[in-house]
Amino acid sequence: MNYIENYENWLNDERLNAEAKTELENIKDNKDETEYRFGAELEFGTAGMRGIIGYGTNMLNVYTVRRATQGLAEFIKSKGAAAMARGVAISFDTRLKSDEFAKAAAEVLAANGITAYLFDDVHPVPMLSFTVRELNTFAGIMITASHNPKQYNGYKVYGEDGAQMSPDDTSVVVDFIGKITDYLGTPAPTDEQTRKFIKTVPAKVDRKYYKQLKKLTLSKKAVRACGKNLKLVYTPVHGSGYIPVTTILRKIGINATVVEEQTSKDTSFSTVEVPNPEFKETLSMGIKLAQRIDATVVFGTDPDSDRLGVAVKNKEGEFEALSGNQVGILLLDYILTRLKEEKALPANAAVVKSFVTTGMAKAICNKFGVELFEVPVGFKFIGEKIKLWERDRSHTFVFGFEESCGYLRGTHARDKDAVVASMLCAEMVCYYTYKNKTVFQRLQEIYDTYGYVLDCNISVPFKGLNAMKDMNAVVDGLKAEPATKFDIYNVVTVRDYSANVKTDIATGAKSEIGSPLTNCVYYELENGGFICVRPSGTEPKLKIYFSVKAHNKQDAEAALEKMQKAVQKLIKK
């Protein structure tokens, strides 16, 4: 069936709601729009679905959400009555239609006789992950598009361990979804099924979450001394972090000044270009407030509060937005320092990071005698390490992070947690304030100790119906003709994560990487840096990562410029 037939079938179906009918009638003369909406199906990958809000098979709407949920329901039913009774926890953020999609998912589950625990208001990703574990549900659903622009929404599925669903289970769910060809025919619950199977998540779950976070504090003395008078600015950027972040800071005794204009649940995120706290522009209102009250640190969380952005005042008195890598090494250094000072650092302590995250983590872990593990991009792989170590007791998880502003301390959740990261960052500010030092000064001390490392990434956008396929083709081309040099920087080893093989350039020797498969090519450079190219798993962008080690910032920036030009030339080829 071609896209025109798909479009007409939807438009002429009497089950189509009025909003959808009007929207689809308005594009009847727009061939490109019709083809985009109905020429493909929205892909359900290892991170679930993410797409532009609108009607069509390739869009995020109530029908694609119901279809995906029906596929999940079939998977749960295949596991038996016990799995159905344990049910699914469902949360949602402040994005357009998030509450509607969450309710639709709950209704499909109820219609299948599966218990659905639905939050009565917005809750972030980490609290959904915690709830899955606390209520012992079989799975979890989070309605969010994370930090994407306002026109997007998404659907993420979590396994019973609180981490994003494993690739193996996701594959089974995808098979069930693929068998559902009638998008408008998913079952609706009876009144009795709604009453019986749709339950509200108990309020005590929130209280238990905060109690777990309080156990992770590291500097109570410094907080008592500095917390109440701390000049720290926080913005939730209209997202779900507002209540949990301010609540945990209040509970541990830290004052935060909130950007009031950005506390509303604004589905248009009208005060920012993009609700991504990685960008300094997104934190601009917070920075203006910080300048007005003479604060030294600004925090911001994204709509589903799994990412934390930080800006700090430098020695010139101007605010700098820190990268996810910089915040990561600050937190890593702080956590290990405090655990060691308190003689609480486990002998088998372990840190986990994605392989595209800064190489400086290795030097810091080596100094503290802590083992560092690398995993593919995606916090679910960090969650898998936690689950493994809880089972075999070989290591104790102390911290996990990704360069994309995702951090986790503790095992209460199995995904990025900007709530606990906000708490730890605020506590870290108290700790250094107590020592008459700023966070920026501590960052410079870290560079002085381990050498300057410049980490950055760029995104190359792809458009059109075949965007995801085109991105993967670029990466496949790089693997077919491995580069041995980028400008003056020789490649030592090439890692092909899609084949789990790394190749020594000098000898040609091949060995296993020992990592889950993912479409990615990674170049280890002789100067200790790396270049990595991978397609984004959530949006049509080719991601290119650079890590440069140098004597100082100026030398690193010069090296980065040469490397970027060489990579751009290779990709164009």
Residue 547 designated active-site: no
β-bridge partners, 454: 548
What would you measure as the largest C-alpha separation in the chain, in angstroms? 70
Rounded CA-CA distance 121/135 in Å is 18
Residue whose pair of structure tokens reads 């009607």 in the numeric block: 55
Catalytic residue among 91, 98, 146, 404: 146
CA-based nearest residue to 68, from 191, 173, 206: 173
User: SS3 for 260-291, per residue?
Assistant: HHHCCCCCCCCCCCCCCCCCHHHHHHHHHHHH
Cα dihedral 279/280/283/289 (nearest 10)? 180
Residue 166 is given by DSSP the state P
CA-derived radius of gyration, the chain: 24
Token pair in block for residue 283: 């934190």
Rounded CA-CA distance 181/39 in Å is 14
3-state secondary structure of 379: helix
Residues 6+ positions from 353 with CB-CB distance below 8 Å: 328, 361, 372, 373, 374, 375, 382, 400, 401, 402
Rounded CA-CA distance 568/483 in Å is 13
Token pair in block for residue 311: 């800006």
User: SS3 for 479-535, per residue?
Assistant: HHCCCCEECCEEEEEEEECCCCEEEECCCCCEEECCCCCCCCEEEEECCCCEEEEEE
Rounded CA-CA distance 219/228 in Å is 14
Rounded CA-CA distance 340/170 in Å is 40
Rounded CA-CA distance 400/357 in Å is 11
Residues 6+ positions from 418 with CB-CB distance below 8 Å: 124, 126, 241, 245, 301, 302, 305, 306, 307, 308, 405, 407
Rounded CA-CA distance 190/196 in Å is 10
3-state secondary structure of 544: strand
- What are the distances in angstroms from CA 448 to CA 327, 328, 442, 452? 16, 17, 10, 7
H/E element, 51: strand 49-52
Residue 53 is given by DSSP the state B
H/E element, 257: strand 257-258
Complete DSSP assignment for 357-374: S-THHHHHHHHHT-EEEE
Q: Which are the catalytic amino acids?
A: 146
